[in-house]
Structure 1
Amino acid sequence: MRIAMVSEHASPLATLGGADAGGQNVHVAALARHLGAAGHHVDVYTRRDDPDLPERVPLAPGVDVVHVTAGPARPLPKDDLLPFMDALGDGLARAWSDPRHRPDVAHAHFWMSGLAAVRARALTTGPRVPVVQTFHALGSVKRRHQGAADTSPPGRVELEAGLCHEVDVVVATCHDEVDELYRLGAPRGRLRVVPCGVDLDEFQPDDEPAAAPGDGRPPGRLRLLTVGRLVERKGVGTVVEALALLRSARHRGGPLDVELAVAGGPPATGLGTDPEVRRLRALADRLGVADRVRFLGAVGHDDVPPLLHAADVVVCAPWYEPFGIVPLEAAACGRPVVGSAVGGLLDTVVDGETGLLVRPRDAAALARAVQRLADPGLRARLGAGARTRAERLYGWPTVAARTADVYADLLRASRPAVVRPAPLTVGGPR
């Protein structure tokens, strides 16, 4: 198949760690690479944000990134991109009018990409191009949890609801998202579930926990790790509050010794001026645990596996989470996760088998879960279960194959039926 992926703000070539560069970039890049490795050809269309970018950049065998001019050729926050989606759709239509680049199927990532893909389909002559939509995050969920702090363009929720009827298939990344899509009015027959994936070769168990860079952890101290963008909804403040509650916890007859490493946010040199870091530091100081919280700043993708190996427990405590890549990466490394029972974590963390789930924004429940995981035997059992489940369900070759199956089913359904003429009766009726 020739596949057009549309990812308007999340280029697979982007440097991770920016405000709008994260899990979606990783997802699009990995999915495209593995579809290419399976013999398909993938063009990933993204908005040009630098005038010097070439039109096409090879990403991997069978995969090109195509830069489409839509709005000013400079970085813009994704919430400012809606006025340029018509131009992106026009650019896609021009590309697809070339028989060499005409896709068999288009897969839009994020809602604005869907608007551009549907427009491009309408403007492209010839056989109809089926469109698959993955939202990655829904405006209705964001509005519910962020309220007035939601910076999405007006009308996002209504446009997403309309897309559910205009595209051919919506691929949800978890079952909680399916429920949200039903509430949005999505036709049930158009929904499929295919999760995000993880690189099982890059993220592997390490039986001997490594020391993280600059690690001076005292023997016997339990290390918690959070990884991700530092925004309030990620729930790091709840983890700090749980750490304070654990000061009086006991384990094996003595005090429970716990520390927290926080990876994410700006580079280490900019931590002092970051508003969220300052808020979290003030909270830790007020609760008397400032000496137990260490901010690492932004970390490169290659640095994540060693950080996971150096942790005893990975904590993911968001208020809400459309999917969440870190729980998968932790699972692949054989580390148990204490996670909020929200969104994608309801699929990726099996309570009591691969980790522990707690109510979001509940520091006391989070502290109790961490206290349980002070038991090294329980940690080892949950970590081993997490790796086994990651191998079975979440390796990228498996995820790419399931995605390709969605495309193939869609193409089979869209082909016109072959109508065979009735056989002639020689000599007429008898």
Structure 2
Amino acid sequence: MRIAMVSVMANPLTEGTGQGAHVQQMAAALCRLGHEVTVYTRRTTPKSHDRVRTDEKFEVVQVPAGPAEPLSGDELVAHLGEFAEFLAEEWRLSSPDVVHSHHWQSGLVALISAHRVQVPVVHSHHGLGVADDEKRADAERLLARMASWTVTTCTQEIAQLMQLGVRRTQASVVPAGVDLDLFKPEGPAAARGSLRRVVTVGRLEPGSGFATVVAALSVVDDVELVIVGDKAQANPVAAQLRKLARTLGSLDRVVFAGVVPQVKMPALLRSADVVVCMPRSEPFGLAALEAMACGVPVIATAVGALTDVITHNVSGLHVPPNDARALARLLRLLLADDTKRQELGVAARDRVAARYSRERLANEAVAVYERVDPVHGNE
């Protein structure tokens, strides 16, 4: 099957977390099943190649739509027409069997372009907009009505989508997947000092929950916090976190690791006593899944995909968002109990292996594609 993925804002070549990582994982797994996958994203640097064939065999096309520089979501809207024209021309010459769009901007250009060549569109919202964002709300309602099928990465989003008009019989949950050959308990661990280690992973942006983790760390003794995400230099959120840690007297125990390549993430995760994920919303849960696959216990907020991924007190622990006191209490209990950490780590690995392998989830995605593609669905 020839599959086109549209991910306008999240480039699987450069974004190691969130949507970009999810698209990369799904495209790689689909290629391993023998499918042909092309990912379309927007060019954001002038020196980037037009087309890149990855080691995982999928192709990334970096579409010239607007200036070759990062743009905000509002700035990007003016250039979605250029993106759609590029796709329409490309697909007129050689059309895919199915299009899978990720996030609302991608969904709009996919609907426009795929309609011209009569190709079905599967759409993933990856979180819904706030009520006062009228452009996004209108787009999401349109996508709910017009997409051939809707795929979500967590069950919590299904109820919201039904309120938009998505029929439950035309929606599926296909969560994010993990490369279990790479993320596993066996293998080297990154070097560390005498302090116990807590690791948290995500983008340095409001809503990440990093401030809650820093606040909790300040009242938990003999623990260092390693923050993995974007480059911390000149990042305003990183500056705020440093100021908070300095005020709380824990700056010397906070490490900004920056961007860690995927091949080095397992070793870093294995070096952690606990991994903490404290976002206010989370459609993917990739950071938690990768830590769990490495057999590391996870404390996470009960939001989005994290409610599916973790069964409280079985494969991890849940904590309310923004509650530094509750997080500190759980960290103290867990760091003092080697047996409990081991039990949670083993159960976490079993949970991921049973439900979240890339191959299983790629097969579930293909089952959706075959439903909307009459040719391959009848083979």
* 2:205 aligned with 1:205: no
Q: In the alignment, what sits opposite 2:363?
A: 401
SS in structure 1 of the partner of residue 79 of structure 2: helix
Q: 1:279 to 1:67 in 2, by over 3 A?
A: closer
Residue 88 of structure 2 corresponds to 93
CA distances 1:76-99 after superposition (whole Å, capped 9, x unpaired): 33442111212212221111111x
1:366 maps to which residue?
A: 327
Mapped to 2, the partners of 1:158 and 1:382 lie a distance apart of 43
Q: Please say which structure displays the higher CA radius of gyration.
A: 1
Deviations 1:165-224 (A, max 9, x none): 1101110000111122123332222211000111111111148x7343xx32x2xx4321
1-side partners of 2:377 and 2:311: how far apart?
40
Distance in 1 (alpha carbons) for counterparts of 2:15 and 2:47? 20
Residue deviations 1:311-342 (CA, integer Å, cap 9, x gap): 00000111222222100110111001100111
Give the whole-Å Cα distance in 1 for the aligned partners of 2:356 and 2:109: 29
Q: Does residue 1:166 correspond to 2:146, yes or no?
A: yes
1:35 alignment partner, SS class: helix
Q: Is the 8 A contact 2:18 2:284 kept in 1?
A: no
Give the residue type in structure 1 aligned to 2:120: P
**Paired residue type of 1:136:** H
Tell me the residue number matched to 1:422: none
Aligned to 1:224: 198
- In 2, Cα distance between equivalents of 1:34 and 1:42: 10
Structure 1 Cα separation of the partners of residues 9 and 322 of structure 2: 30
Other structure's SS at 1:81 match: helix
Greater CA deviation, 376-385 or 179-188? 179-188
Q: Which residue of 2 aligns with 1:16?
A: 15
Matched, 1:322 2:283: yes
* 1:90–1:123 CA contact under 8 A, matched in 2: no
Supply the AA of the counterpart residue of 1:132: V
Q: 1:415 to 1:293 in 2, by over 3 A?
A: closer
Tell me the equivalent position of 2:135. Answer: 155
149, 154, 174: which one aligns with 1:194: 174
**Structure 1 residues 230, 53: closer, same or farther in 2, change over 3 A?**
closer
2: distance between equivalents of 1:81 and 1:224? 37
Equivalent residue for 1:264? 229
Q: CA deviation at 1:164?
A: 0.7
2:22·2:284 contact (CA, 8 Å) conserved in 1? no
Q: What's the secondary structure of 2:291's corresponding residue? A: helix
**In structure 2, distance between residues paired with 1:11 and 1:358:** 31
1:390 aligns with 2:352: yes
Does residue 338 of the first structure (1) align with residue 328 of the second (2)?
no
Give the Cα separation in 1 of the matches to 2:197 and 2:48.
Answer: 43
SS at structure 2 position matched to 1:108 = strand
Tell me whether 1:122 sits opposite 2:83 in the alignment: no
- Name the aligned partner's letter for residue 100 of structure 2: H
1:266 and 1:298 in contact (8 A); partners too = yes
Equivalent residue runs for 1:18-57 within 5 Å: 22-50=17-45, 53-57=48-52
Aligned residue identity for 2:175: P
Q: 1:183 to 1:2 in 2, by over 3 A?
A: same
Q: Which moved more, 1:333-342 or 1:369-378?
A: 369-378
What is the alpha-carbon distance in structure 1 between the residues aligned to residue 72 and residue 135 of structure 2? 17
- Tell me the C-alpha RMSD between the 2 structures: 2.4
Residues 50 and 315 of structure 1: is their aligned pair in 2 closer, same or farther, counting only changes over 3 Å? closer
Asked whether the equivalents of residues 190 and 271 of structure 2 are also in contact (C-alpha less than 8 Å), the reply is yes
Stretches of structure 2 that go unaligned for 5 or more consecutive residues are none
- Paired with 2:25 and 2:50, the residues of 1 have a C-alpha distance of 21
Identity percentage of aligned residues? 44
Superposition pairs for residues 304-315 of structure 1, below 5 Å? 304-315=265-276
Tell me, in whole angstroms, the C-alpha distance in 2 between the residues paired with 1:159 and 1:244.
43
Tell me how far 1:369 sits from its aligned partner.
1.5
1:102 paired to 2:76: no
Q: Indicate the larger mover: 128-137 or 237-246.
A: 237-246
1:4-36 CA deviation, whole Å, 9 max, x = no partner? Answer: 1111122223x236xxxx322222222112212
Write the deviation string for residues 81-126 of structure 1: whole angstroms up to 9, x where unpaired.
Answer: 111212212221111111xx211111111111110011012322xx
The count of residues paired between Structure 1 and Structure 2 equals 377
2:15 & 2:41 partners in 1: Cα distance?
16
Three-state SS of the structure 1 residue aligned to 2:207 is: helix
State the one-letter code of the partner of 1:69: P
Is 1:348 the counterpart of 2:309 in the alignment? yes
For the Cα contact (< 8 Å) 1:175–1:344, is it kept in 2? yes
Check whether the contact 1:45–1:65 (CA below 8 A) recurs between aligned residues. Answer: yes
- What's 1:410 paired with? 372
Deviation at 1:235, TM superposition (A): 0.9
Aligned to 1:181: 161
Corresponding residue for 1:136? Answer: 126
Contact kept? 1:40, 1:62, Cα under 8 Å: no
